[in-house]
Amino acid sequence: MNSVSPSGAQYIGGVMQDELVENRRQQPMERQSSFGVRTPQTPDACREAAGEPDEMDKLKAKLMSAWNNVKYGWTVKSKTSFNKMSPVIVLGHSYLLNSEDEVERFRLAFVSRIWLTYRREFPQLEGSTWTTDCGWGCMLRSGQMLLAQGLLVHLMPRDWTWPDAQQLTDVDFEVFRPRSPVRAGGVPIPSFGSPRGSNTPEKSLPSIQHPRSSQKKRPECARDRQAEPIHHRLVTWFGDQPPAPFGVHQLVEIGKSSGKKAGDWYGPSVVAHILRKAVAKTSVVQNLAVYVAQDCTVYKEDVLRLCDLSLSQTPPDPDSQGWKSVIILVPVRLGGEALNPSYIECVKNILKLECCIGIIGGKPKHSLFFIGFQDEQLLYLDPHYCQPVVDITQANFSLESFHCSSPKKMPFNRMDPSCTIGFYAKNKKDFESLCSAVSVALSSSTEKYPIFTFADGQGHDYGLEGHSSNNTGPAAHILPPGRPGRSNNRRNSDEFVFL
């Protein structure tokens, strides 16, 4: 069993140390002669210094794009099985699939999540030849889904579901039937399986009218329909166009400040900071801030200074009681080279909380967005499916490719230990409740070290100047208080991309 503290992951300037080491390895060394004297740079070298791709880079990018577009452009359909005797947890909501009503509630809850995947044929990323993120952008897509879930909670009515989810009835999952009709919960459950062949690509999903759609009308359906313009606008913010504030073009541009570029590997900690900067940079989302925890610690005073409008020149919003809503992102490491089993129960309890908006992580070199679990398996949305770009500038573009109809599960023991956990608090009272509820969930771990902690005061109270989310001071080397530094020779499990 790995018994590594999550706080044992050392951070430098908000980026995991082993990730920075990897970045340095990837940087080209300065050309020198055998006597250490600089040699004159060629035009090609000048282009490299300016960040322009050379002909070899262009050829590599084209070949990799073509291969990845084929590799991820189709998928073999397979049904995911769910146990009707155990609850399915989805972002703080529980569904016991022992009746048709519960199956329908779960189906609507899952399909209503924003699903963001690889795209191809979008405008070329600046400073590169990439017109697709296929094969390398899965962690960025997972980060987009985490942020999108936070925005859904922030902007949409409580417990909102997509009214047009009825058209995506080809939901690939089945519920275990009891062996005996006299067993508890022995209600026959129809399987929402695919009538297509198992090798049919997902991109050819037809819209089939649900047989019960005319019979089942949720009371809040009219309210959800009225919120559709917000839903539509939210999706445009993640469009694959340079102006989209949370699109790949903007995220890659912001990532350059962390030494990343298009085609590079992105880890969950780096993506957390990219999302923070993207929200701070745009004006499309009002009354929302993103806080990124440092050294596995959420400093309450830092969150207060970030969110309390009375501490800034902005007039307080009476609806928010003078408090900005906040998305809290906590990069953690749940073990050494593999997940420490002692943290599994804790992760489950976190996903049971309504304030949790998901976890970005995955399995090694394969990023996923975790939104829940059943028994010993995680429920996730997978970005590894390459779809054609959608023109979000069209007034009535289709939302179908931004919602997934195929729930997938993965055993906890395959989860990569590097991940980022997301939470949302609408106001100050919610933040206080969040701190209390999450602290209880964290205490459920049998491991000596908690996944992360809440602390009063500010980061610099502990000698952490420059590491508060709302502070851009000089980088410092952070270690857990009272613990000496030690060498870290584990492999870099913060790499998710090329399979």
Condensed to tens digits (0 to 9), the pLDDT of residues 211-221 reads: 333 334 454 47
Q: Residue 7 — pLDDT band, cuts 50, 70, 90? A: very low
Average pLDDT over residues 228-236: 95
Q: Residue 34 — pLDDT band, cuts 50, 70, 90? A: very low
Query: Greater confidence, 162 or 449?
Result: 162
Residue listed under structure tokens 């001071």: 473
Average the pLDDT over each of 300-304, 387-391, 479-483 and give the range with the smallest value: 479-483
Structure tokens at 490: 């584990």
Q: Which domain holds residue 156?
A: 54-178+202-478
Residue listed under structure tokens 């609806």: 319
Q: Residue 446 — pLDDT band, cuts 50, 70, 90? A: confident
User: What span, in angstroms and rounded, lies between the C-alpha atoms of 105 and 352?
Assistant: 17
Average pLDDT over residues 63-69: 58
What's the mean pLDDT when you consider all of the chain?
Answer: 75
Average pLDDT over residues 357-381: 94
Structure tokens at 335: 């073990």
> What would the pLDDT profile of 177-190 be if each residue is shown by its tens digit?
545 443 333 334 44
Residue listed under structure tokens 């979008």: 122
The predicted model scores a pTM of 0.75
Query: Greater confidence, 202 or 137?
Result: 137
Average pLDDT over residues 444-450: 80
**Residues 466/470/472/474 CA torsion (nearest 10 deg):** 0
Average pLDDT over residues 297-312: 90
So what's the pLDDT on residue 413? Answer: 93
Q: In 426-497, at which residue ranges do the beta strands (DSSP E only) sit?
A: 453-455, 477-478
For 163: left if phi > 0, alpha if psi spans -120 to 50, otherwise beta; the answer is alpha
Q: Residue 112 — pLDDT band, cuts 50, 70, 90? A: very high
Q: Residue 121 — pLDDT band, cuts 50, 70, 90? A: very high
So what's the pLDDT on residue 278? Answer: 97
Whether residue 73 is predicted with pLDDT greater than 70 in this model: the reply is no
496: DSSP letter: -
User: What span, in angstroms and rounded, lies between the C-alpha atoms of 459 and 466?
Assistant: 8
Contact 278, 270 (CB under 8 A): no
Catalytic residue among 134, 138, 386, 435: 138
So what's the pLDDT on residue 458? Answer: 87
Average the pLDDT over each of 77-81, 188-192, 274-278, 417-421 and give the range with the smallest value: 188-192
Does a structural domain hold residue 401? yes
Does a structural domain hold residue 490? no
Query: Greater confidence, 315 or 498?
Result: 315
384 as an active site residue: the answer is yes
Share of the chain above pLDDT 70, in %: 64
So what's the pLDDT on residue 225? Answer: 87
So what's the pLDDT on residue 236? Answer: 97
Structure tokens at 167: 């058209």
So what's the pLDDT on residue 489? Answer: 38
Cross-strand partners of 367: 362
Closest CA relative to residue 431, chosen from 316, 277, 322:
322
So what's the pLDDT on residue 241? Answer: 95
Whether residue 416 is predicted with pLDDT greater than 50 in this model: the reply is yes
> What would the pLDDT profile of 143-185 be if each residue is shown by its tens digit?
999 999 999 999 999 889 998 886 665 555 777 654 544 333 3
Residue listed under structure tokens 């291969």: 67
138 as an active site residue: the answer is yes
Does a structural domain hold residue 453? yes
So what's the pLDDT on residue 469? Answer: 42
Catalytic residue among 154, 210, 249, 384: 384
Angstrom CA distances, 425 to 141, 209, 357, stand at: 23, 37, 10
382 as an active site residue: the answer is yes
So what's the pLDDT on residue 488? Answer: 39
Catalytic residue among 302, 382, 416, 494: 382
Average pLDDT over residues 308-313: 74
So what's the pLDDT on residue 419? Answer: 96
Positive/negative CA dihedral, 386, 389, 395, 397: negative
**119 backbone dihedrals φ, ψ, rounded to 5°:** -135, 155
So what's the pLDDT on residue 72? Answer: 57
Does a structural domain hold residue 259? yes
Residue 19's CB is within 10 A of a number of other CB atoms, namely 24
Share of the chain above pLDDT 90, in %: 51
So what's the pLDDT on residue 3? Answer: 44
Average the pLDDT over each of 49-58, 125-134, 222-231 and give the range with the smallest value: 49-58
So what's the pLDDT on residue 25? Answer: 40
Does a structural domain hold residue 251? yes
Tally of structural domains, the chain: 1
Does a structural domain hold residue 197? no
